[in-house]
Amino acid sequence: MWEPCTPDALLEAVRGLRVAEPDLSLKPLLTKLREQRPELGAATKEVREALATLKAESEAAAKPTVAPPAAAKHGAPSNVALSLACIGCARLPSEMPDGREKHPICDKCKELKLQTTYMCGMNCPGNPGAWDLHGMFHKKLRKEMKTREDGGATQQRTREAAERQARLASESGDAWGQLMAEGLRYMAKEDWRKAGKAYREAIALKPDHPGAYHNLGAVLANSGHAVEAAQRFLEAQERLLVGSERWAKATASAFDMLRKEECAEVAKPVWWNDEGLKALSARVVRAAPNAEPAIDMRAYALSGFSHGSWEAGPCSAAELKEAAALFDRSAAMCDAPQLKAKLASFADVCRGRASRNFGP
């Protein structure tokens, strides 16, 4: 007989499965749930209620738009790899007249080992411009990848992290740890599709653990899918101790995604305003003083470089000087030449504004 479980525990378990395998219908989802988490003893009624809660959360997390899921301006779906649906018209393969099991995969996404992107055809009837827009997504991603090129420094750090995680998993025999190590190994190879799959499986196994959410966010960020990356970083943040270093890194990573143009229509957290960002970024950089994302978050919040993603208020001379120092520090820590130059130029801009507006 199934033992009763708390609604919160069941919700977390269903949430994890939904992230890992979004196309499961109710009966297969129940089967998976009972296989992976038999101690929850999930009943059909409670699972339906959990799914309804997740649906309500999803609707509240994003503003409604008229455009189909291929972000009509950016060419990437809002929740990449969360559905087998066409990114142009949102139709599932089962809704097509030819009995197909899957839509064709974008060849470029496949070549770059990105999260799987499906399209019903190059001339999607529900969104004729979607294919061209997806091509624009790849052009933008190529530019971002070039900006992040650091001579393999990040890959080396990821390989070392994978080795450490693999040793720990081997010693403990922990299946979750093995999936985390597998994800890191694929990240070191820049195989974002397989890395994402490993982390989604890890989330399904331990939906209350923040680590896989954070790493999945990093995979999505590296493969150009800012909307879902922001969601995963925020989910990691929610599961971490407020004020801890890991909480700070997750918060700063979520900020980095949410300020991008792709997230313009995404509903923002309550702290997404000038005053809130300045206060939060101060806590973040205190908690993780040597983490580049934390330093960058504080620098952007103080400089007013919002690029329209939030309404920036006036900056004092002290704030601009602190922002300049932070940008300089981030530039010194950065291994990617193009990004290093960009951060250094931001520092110069802040110093110039402080000097012009407030004097020496």
Interval 280-284 mean pLDDT: 97
Q: Which of 51, 52, 83 is nearest to 68 (CA)?
A: 83
Confidence category of residue 170, pLDDT binned at 50, 70, 90: confident
What torsion, rounded to 10 degrees, do the Cα atoms 200, 205, 210, 211 define?
-70
Give the model's pLDDT for residue 184: 93
Q: Determine the Cα–Cα distance for residues 41 and 273; give it in Å rounded to an integer.
A: 42
Burial class (CB in 10 A: 0-12, 13-18, 19+), 290: exposed
Q: Determine the Cα–Cα distance for residues 265 and 137; give it in Å rounded to an integer.
A: 17
* 345 pLDDT above the threshold of 90: yes
Interval 131-158 mean pLDDT: 89
Please tell me whether residue 118 adopts helix, strand or coil conformation: strand
Give the model's pLDDT for residue 252: 97
Report which listed range, 93-97, 98-102, 120-124, 192-196, is most confident. 192-196
Are 120 and 86 in contact by the 8 Å Cβ rule? The answer is: yes
Q: Which of 86, 83, 78, 169 is nearest to 120 (CA)?
A: 86
Q: Give the position of tokens 């003083």.
A: 289
The chain-wide mean pLDDT, for the chain, equals 83
Per-state percent for the chain, helix, strand, coil, to nearest 5: 65, 0, 35
* 67 pLDDT above the threshold of 50: no
* 25 pLDDT above the threshold of 90: no
* Domain ranges (residues) in the chain: 7-61, 65-140, 241-358
Tens digit of each residue's pLDDT (9 = 90 or more) over 172-224: 888 999 999 999 999 999 999 999 999 999 999 999 999 999 999 999 999 99
Give the model's pLDDT for residue 71: 42
